[in-house]
Amino acid sequence: MKEAWWKWAHYLGQSDLISLEKAFEFASRAHDGQKRVTGEPYMTHPVAVCSILMEEQADLPTIMSALLHDVVEDTDVTIDEVEKQFGQEVSRIVDGLTKVERGLMSKEEHHATNIQKLLSAAADDVRVAVVKIADRIHNMRTLDVKPVEKQIPYANEALIFFAPLAGKLGLRKMRAELEEISFPFLNPVRCSEVVGAVESYSTQFDGLFQQVREKVGGTATFEGMREPLYQSYSLLQDDVEVSDLYSIRITTDSVLDCYSVMGSVHQVFKPVADAFVDHLALTVSPFNQKLQTKVWIGNNMVRIILQTREGKALSDQGVLALLREEKSSMSIQRLSHECLGGAIHDATEIAEDVFEFEAVVSHSLFQETITIYTPDWNA
């Protein structure tokens, strides 16, 4: 089973691998004999969650917590045992991911209570939210094994709660996958229509992409990009042109190179008036550091985005890229507060109960810009 994720461990040191092995063995013993709805051994789930995070080179406490995220909730293991074996940092993340006992609560109150616990814990350590998002991604990948009556609400929550949460944390690919899986369950007809509309422009865009790469040239890296499926649907509902769902990202070594290449782009192709945006000099988000312009290629308008390689990493991996740089508990807490703390604190102050908290935080936390993902245009 370990072979499924061990290939992603190349970025870890030897001592990290020993710690990860210990977490795997501990979780395997705790979940021994348990099965998923699919009939597979239960450990396939935490291993898959761990793999999702290792693909993004998440830090060691995050991936250890992914392996251990269900041991307290679903086995006889206590949170004190987790802390004794793996330390306070990992146990705090696992505790944040562990649902409260339902007791006499209704199903709705239990759900809202767990949302409040999850987000409150994530405001102090954002890795709680990161692991939960990866957990939901794997459960969405196997959603078709759930009863039909459970698929719709589960997909709906992924679309309106977990996907925006991933977007808030700059987890671009994770958000895109949650949307790509959820949308067909919720509205297969509209999903099919959007797929047809988007794919109808794909060949034309590929030709435009090749023109830009050939005429601008240099040592920069060129990528074709398009909005995720559900975001495309939302934009098309607002009468956005299909062509505006696509863009070309050019990645350079430095900020100075970004401006230099932008100048080259505008020399080769006529820029569209009032379409230049500078989020390098005026940063609005650590996950959105870029120059953006639109140019005319024949009768086609094409969006061009320029980023440094560091900016690309932040755009692609979001908070996970920042977590690799933050080593102390204080710096991680500060990062967590910057990402989520303000909105969650405000919701806690305003809300009179868990239902109101869920409503307030859903409105305030998820008002953020659309993210994009990168298909392989060079395949």
Active-site residues: which are they? Answer: 73-74
- CA 311 to CA 283: how far, in whole Å? 11
Taking CA atoms, 309 is separated from 32, 187, 222, 289, 316, in Å, by: 43, 37, 12, 11, 10
Would you say 170 and 287 are in contact if contact means Cβ atoms under 8 Å apart?
yes
Q: What is the bridge-based pairing of β-strands 300-308 and 246-252?
A: parallel
Contact 183, 159 (CB under 8 A): yes
Q: Classify strands 291-297 and 300-308 as parallel, antiparallel or unpaired.
A: antiparallel
Evaluated on CA atoms 369, 330, 131, 96, the torsion sign reads: negative
DSSP 276-345: -EETTTS-S-TT---EEEEEEETTEEEEEEEEEHHHHHHHHHTHHHHHTT--SHHHHHHHHIIIIIHHHH
Separation of alpha carbons 325 and 253, rounded Å: 19
Residue 154: beta bridge partners? Answer: none
Contact 40, 86 (CB under 8 A): no
Output the six-digit token pair for 125: 């350590």
- Residue 237 to residues 118, 176, 193, 199, 229, Cα–Cα distance (Å): 33, 18, 12, 17, 12
